[in-house]
A = this chain, B = another copy of it.
Amino acid sequence: MAEVKLLRCRECAKEYQPSLKYVCEECFGPLDVVYDYEKISLRREDFSERPKSIWRYFELLPIANSSNIVNLEAGYTPLQKSVRLAEQIGLKELYIKNDTVNPTYSFKDRPAGIGVSKAVELQLDAVGCASTGNLAGATAAYAARAGIPCFVFIPHDIEKAKVTQALAYGAKILSIEGTYDDANRLAAQAAEAYRLGIVNINMRPYYTEGSKTLALEVSEQLGWQAPDHVIIPVGSGAMLHSICKGFEELVTIGLLDEVKTKITAAQPSGCAPIVDAFKRGETEVTPVESPNTIAKSLAIGEPGDGFYALKKIREYRGYADDATNQEIIEAVLLLARTEGIFAEPAGGVPIAVLKKLVEDGKIDRNEKVVCYVTGNGLKTPELLTEDLPTPSIVKPEVRALAPLIQR
């Protein structure tokens, strides 16, 4: 297992001993996990006997003692070579990283799994998160598996149905009389006051390490080669930043020779602050006050890692573009009908943006592209109802079928 060497401020590079700290004392910058890379000696062939989960990369994950791992076998999800979708979009080689099949049915298993494991390692006896969606479900499931309480902070105007999955795992839902910001602020205060491991707040440096495995797995699944271009759905920007860290660490420890990958961000039109900043050539992200999109898991108006995501997109010579609700639904259906993968709207966003960028000539048809699809369509079936055909009513006679079955 990997000892975390230190936490380092992403802004001023000040270093800290690993702890519950998540913000730099000097400049309020976010802290990142740093390992003792020189001590990591890993060869490609070492992986053949390892578990098919995120834990196959334990040297690059921030848990020191394997007995602290809270394991639902997340990760190592299929990287599906998508011939039919590639044809439709006009690409030669396209892969879908299918994170709809994680244990709680979104990519959030990765960061939440690490966050809860680290909370156990730090001997916190309860965890939580501020979330109304995939993260609530994931954190609650890992807490259940660990046998510790989970507190989910949500604004009080969210319907109970949104948190059914988290409730089923036994999480305690705290419905805060206030806005999303109030819920977040209160979660941060509670983390300190009651020694809770709020995975996306005070566990954040460890938590974000989980998303990094999306880069490690794709590289390994392509035969230890980084793709030419990746398309990443972006909410807070944390996942995009972590994916970059993953590619970079693989080069550092010698498992990848180089990374020439272009990194492109995809956001929904109703909440695209990073895309807007990219298109305007700005380095700062202007918050979106009232996000309005069907891709709820990407509806983060003030993206915590927006500044850094933007920086990475430019460093990696990618693009940023957005997709409207209608484009998102069409993309969800296109993905389902060509590849048999059923995604939530957030999963349609990168497909729609990819299509657009190929049409615009910004992505060359010879590029080897990976598209990240991060959440499950069963979470939001009602969004599709209008766009799906009505079943044909048929008399129970075999000849009545002829016109319908003709092909």
Write the nearest CB–CB distance from A222 to chain B, whole angstroms: 15
* Residue A283 is within 8 A (CB to CB) of chain B in the complex: no
A341–B376 alpha-carbon span in the complex (Å): 15
Write the nearest CB–CB distance from A225 to chain B, whole angstroms: 19
A391 touching B174 in the complex, CB below 8 Å, given contacts A73-B78, A168-B332, A186-B398: yes
A103 touching B341 in the complex, CB below 8 Å, given contacts A76-B52, A164-B381: yes
Write the nearest CB–CB distance from A93 to chain B, whole angstroms: 17
Which B residues are CB-close (under 8 A) to A302?
none
- Inter-subunit contact A84/B174 (CB<8 Å): no
A336–B147 alpha-carbon span in the complex (Å): 11
- Inter-subunit contact A336/B169 (CB<8 Å): yes
* Residue A80 is within 8 A (CB to CB) of chain B in the complex: yes
Closest residue of B by beta carbon distance from A77: B73
Q: Which of A36-44, A59-67, A187-195, A237-245 contacts B (4 or more CB under 8 A)?
A: A187-195
A78 touching B105 in the complex, CB below 8 Å, given contacts A84-B145, A161-B385, A391-B160: no
- Inter-subunit contact A193/B398 (CB<8 Å): yes
A-B contact pairs, 17 of them (CB 8 A): A48-B48, A101-B101, A104-B342, A140-B340, A141-B341, A141-B342, A144-B337, A154-B391, A167-B384, A168-B333, A169-B337, A170-B333, A173-B391, A174-B392, A174-B404, A176-B394, A194-B401
* Residue A102 is within 8 A (CB to CB) of chain B in the complex: yes
Closest residue of B by beta carbon distance from A333: B168
Closest residue of B by beta carbon distance from A169: B336
* Residue A248 is within 8 A (CB to CB) of chain B in the complex: no
* Residue A26 is within 8 A (CB to CB) of chain B in the complex: no
Which B residues are CB-close (under 8 A) to A186?
394, 396-398, 401
Q: Helix, strand, loop or mixed for chain A's interface?
A: mixed
- Inter-subunit contact A103/B101 (CB<8 Å): yes
* Residue A182 is within 8 A (CB to CB) of chain B in the complex: yes
A316–B401 alpha-carbon span in the complex (Å): 44
A177 touching B396 in the complex, CB below 8 Å, given contacts A73-B80, A160-B390: yes
Question: Which of B105, B178, B194 interacts with A405 by CB under 8 Å?
Answer: B194
- Inter-subunit contact A167/B389 (CB<8 Å): yes
- Inter-subunit contact B76/A72 (CB<8 Å): no
* Residue A308 is within 8 A (CB to CB) of chain B in the complex: no
Closest residue of B by beta carbon distance from A334: B170
Which B residues are CB-close (under 8 A) to A102?
101
A140–B342 alpha-carbon span in the complex (Å): 11
